[in-house]
Amino acid sequence: MQLYTDQVKDSPYWNEYLETMPREKLDQLHLRRLQRLIKHAYEKIPMYQELYDKANVKPEDIKTLDDFRVKIPSIDKPDVVKSQTDNPPFGGSIVKGSEEYHTFYFQTSGTTGTPLKEIGYYRDMLSTGWVFKWWAHGIRPVDSFYFAFPFGTFMAFWCAYYDAVALGAQVVTSGGLTTEQRVRQIQELKPTVLVATPTYAMRIAEVARDMGIDASETSIKFVTSAGEPGYVLPTIREVTEKAWGAKVLDLYGLSDLWGSTSWHCPSHLDRLHLTESIAYPMVLDEDGGMVPEGGKGEWVLTNYATVMPLIKYRTHDIVEWHKESCDCGRTWTWLRDGVLGRTDQMVTIKGTNVYPTAIQTIIGETAGLSENLEIYIVTGPGGDAVNVKVEPAPDVPAEKHDDLKSTLANEFRYKIGVAIKVEIVPPKSLPRYEVKAKRVFDNRNKK
Ligand SMILES: [Zn+2]
């Protein structure tokens, strides 16, 4: 019997129609999808309704991609987390009354502050984000996937699991096994694709070596990963490729953004393609203005999820983006050299690494404060220091302001382990912004 997949298995594309769609047509498709998404979000998701009302924009105002880029305000993780903590568990961040579509629960693995909670619908899980990458690099239905991880609340590998099923490949899970037992199972069942975080893929190879087994001699031909930035760094990729004698395929994606992933081009290792069937990309400058293609700025993505879409979601990753067709044949947007840095540059206070986004999250979670704040990164006598200005909410009486100050200072010490100077300013005294607020001021190099 010859299946349809047998006839197309030599194609370099998982979905040739979408992956090679001319840019103009692809943009028309994005526009239609974004218009539907904005209408859906405005009518059914309270967080967006409030945001768009504040920005004075209605779904029918989005007639072109430029309208979407300019008129729709961007959102940031603390905005979504705040909506969820104000009214747990999901606040206004999901479609009202959508319980019948709550197939999966996930949360981000943030190291500080409250994690972002996510609800996914089964249909979103069928977006085959990983399959595009696997197919481009030669993985086919004949392959066998070995999942070396427990199924927790981390989204990425669940997506990988469903995508391996969608590809039609064999799936072997190794849930509660020890690393040694996993090595034995790999020897016995001879899977060809290992799914693990970069760190754990190396750990398995080490344990195998201790057992007298050379991982590069096993059946594994591909190591595919997510969850850590590891393989974007060429040295880690090389070490893993050598240890396993396998091709390493990394996936860049934020677990916040359901399925919006990018992956190495099969023709150019320094290029990451965005899976444009799932997400719409933009790059913005510091003031929220559009960065033309070829330029550098912050990667801002919209995913086409059903229950909890993230629309113009700030990733804080700095990228250089290109939209010209690639010689692998794909028309999908690509990034040169992956992620170049972070907008929320790390601050080191007395040896502890602190991110302004973490500070912002803690302020957002502290009851009695307004959403307006300013974070100043300065050079103190002992190195970097951070001062924050926060406003009490208008209904907090003045005699309670000092309590707020000590509560917040304690939260910083407790949650991120450093002292941060807190200044309480009068209610409604900090500047308001129409679309994108300027909240972090890095004054380290200023006199
Ligand atoms: Zn390419």
Q: At what angle do helices 129-136 and 155-167 cross, to 10 degrees?
A: 60
In the predicted model, what is the mean pLDDT of the chain? 87
Of 361, 372, 388, the closest CA to residue 77 belongs to: 361
Domains of the chain, by residue range, sit at: 347-442
pLDDT reading at 434 higher than 60: no
pLDDT at 431: 80
Question: Is residue 389 scored above 90 in pLDDT?
Answer: yes
CA–centroid distance, 137 to ligand 1, in Å, is 11
Evaluate whether 260 touches 253 at the Cβ level (below 8 Å).
yes
- Report the C-alpha gap between 320 and 341 in whole angstroms: 11
The pLDDT of residue 5: 58
pLDDT band for position 425 (cuts 50, 70, 90): very high
Specify the higher pLDDT residue, 92 or 257: 92
User: In this predicted structure, what is the pLDDT of residue 446?
Assistant: 66
If you compute the radius of gyration of the chain from its CA atoms, what whole number of angstroms results? 23
Distance in Å, CA 249 to ligand 1 centroid: 14
Backbone phi and psi for residue 27, each to the nearest 5 degrees, phi listed first: -65, -35
**CB 115, CB 77: distance < 8 Å:** no
Give distance in angstroms: CA of 255 to centre of ligand 1.
23
C-alpha 292 – ligand 1 centre gap (Å): 20
> Rounded to the nearest whole angstrom, what is the distance from the C-alpha of residue 273 to the centroid of ligand 1?
7
Single pTM value for the model: 0.76
pLDDT in tens, 67-89: 999 999 999 988 999 899 899 99
Rounded to 10 deg, the angle between the 198-210 and 179-189 helix axes is: 80
Calpha distance 296→294 (Å, rounded): 7
**Segment 281-292, tens digit of pLDDT:** 999 987 889 999
**Chain-centre distance of CA 268, in angstroms?**
23
Q: How far is the centre of ligand 1, averaged over its atoms, from the C-alpha of 114 (Å)?
A: 37
Interval between CA 112 and ligand 1 midpoint (Å): 36
Q: What is the pLDDT of residues 180-225, one digit of tens each?
A: 999 999 999 999 999 988 778 888 998 999 999 999 999 999 999 8
Is the confidence at residue 4, as pLDDT, over 70? no
pLDDT for 112 equals 46
CA atoms within 13 A on the CB side of 308: 31
Question: Which CATH number fits the domain 347-442, given the four candidates 3.30.300.30, 1.10.3860.10, 3.40.50.1000, 3.40.50.410?
Answer: 3.30.300.30
Cβ atoms of residues 53 and 59 within 8 Å = no
Instruction: Give the pLDDT score at 345.
Output: 61
Task: Read off the pLDDT band of 269 (50, 70, 90).
Answer: confident
Residues in the chain: 447
Q: Which long-range contacts (CB under 8 A, 24 or more apart) does 412-418 make?
A: 412/359, 412/362, 415/112, 415/113, 415/358, 415/362, 416/112, 416/352, 416/354, 416/358, 416/359, 416/362, 417/352, 418/349, 418/350, 418/352, 418/354, 418/386
CA of 39 to the centre of ligand 1 (A): 33
pLDDT tens, position by position, 390-413? 999 888 899 999 999 999 999 999
Q: What tens digit of pLDDT does each residue of 319-373 get?
A: 899 999 999 999 999 999 877 767 766 677 877 767 776 787 788 778 888 877 8
Where does the pLDDT of residue 435 fall: very low under 50, low under 70, confident under 90, or very high at 90 and above? very low
CA atoms within 13 A on the CB side of 444: 13
Grouping H, G, I as helix, E, B as strand and the rest as coil, residue 254 is coil
Write phi, then psi, for 15 (nearest 5 degrees).
-140, 90
- Which of 7-21, 159-173, 183-197, 429-443 shows the lowest per-residue confidence on average (mean pLDDT)? 429-443
Whole-angstrom Cα distance, residue 436 to residue 75?
Answer: 8
- Tell me the pLDDT tens digit for each residue of 18-76: 999 999 999 999 999 999 999 999 999 999 999 999 999 999 999 999 999 999 999 99
Per-residue model confidence (pLDDT) at position 260: 63
Q: How much of the chain exceeds pLDDT 70, in percent?
A: 90
Helix (H, G, I), strand (E, B) or coil at 301: strand
Encoded tokens for 392: 């009490």
